Amino acid sequence: MKKADSIKKAIGKAGASLASLIKIALMSRRPSPRVKEEKDTIIIMGNGPSLRDAIDNNREALMAFPRMAVNLSALAPEFRELRPDYYILADIAFFLKEKTGKVPALWAALADVEWPMTLFLPAIARKMPEVECLPPNVTVKYYNLTPAEGWKFLMHPIYDSGLAMPRPRNVLVPSILCAMREGFRRIVLIGADHNWAKTLWVTERNRVVSVQPHFYKDDDAELRRAEEIFAGVHIHDVYENYAIAFRSYFNVKDYADARGVEILNATPGSFIDAFPRTRLADL
């Protein structure tokens, strides 16, 4: 039985590796160069509700290190107070030709940044007119959202190249990979609650609903958008996506460990079980 399982696992790894190479050939574009200089610590600020506690009660520790913000956080009132050194966009909605919902306001907020900031964008965004409207103090760097998994001896050099990354079901995956390419040797996560299961339920009409809270207050339009995303989605689909997301963090950890990069999770109550825990106040 063990031999059969080993054979099955080996075939699965081979298939995943081949599929990844095909995806890279079809989807990946030239990324920005890796930074050769080694840097110490960066804090990646996920948009989970626990970030509110860090802002209110551990601001001194938070502001003591370079910070990376993600996705819609530029629309939060605290954005100009936090003045992140890095920012990353990963949601495909930001790069569609037709900008809807909060996306136009987000690009306007980024175009209004007054401090030096590095903005990470998928390589497909290179020719977007919104990028051309960014101020000169915003340095744009490009990465690939191409998912790749399989043999470690093949995947790790691919991740080094920037052509692909572990499956990016959450913005934290590209955030970590981009921080590694920037030369940071210690990456600390806050606002990475990932306790989505607590917000998940099924109505009497068998409709799956999940309203995922953020550290900022979501308006009615954002809540309606969240409900629309889950229209036609079944509960097993949701849990399969959760499994992919959490498993991907173990692939990220394997890669980081192999490259001598430490990833710490300073998010109280986080559901991510791949990274060692710490407290923001202890950094």
The DSSP 8-state label assigned to residue 71 in this structure reads G
Residue 39 in this model has a pLDDT that exceeds 70: yes
User: Are the beta carbons of 260 and 227 closer than 8 angstroms?
Assistant: no
Q: What is d(CA 248, CA 165) in angstroms, rounded to the nearest whole number?
A: 10
Rounded mean pLDDT, 162-172: 96
Return the pLDDT at 228.
64
Residue 144 in this model has a pLDDT that exceeds 80: yes
CA angle 203, 207, 209 (to 5 degrees): 80
Rounded mean pLDDT, 203-228: 65
Task: Tell me the CB-side half-sphere exposure of residue 157, using CA atoms within 13 A.
Answer: 5
Return the pLDDT at 100.
84
Residue 218 in this model has a pLDDT that exceeds 60: no
Least-confidence region, from 5-19, 101-115, 204-218, 254-268:
204-218
Rounded mean pLDDT, 139-165: 97
Return the pLDDT at 239.
86
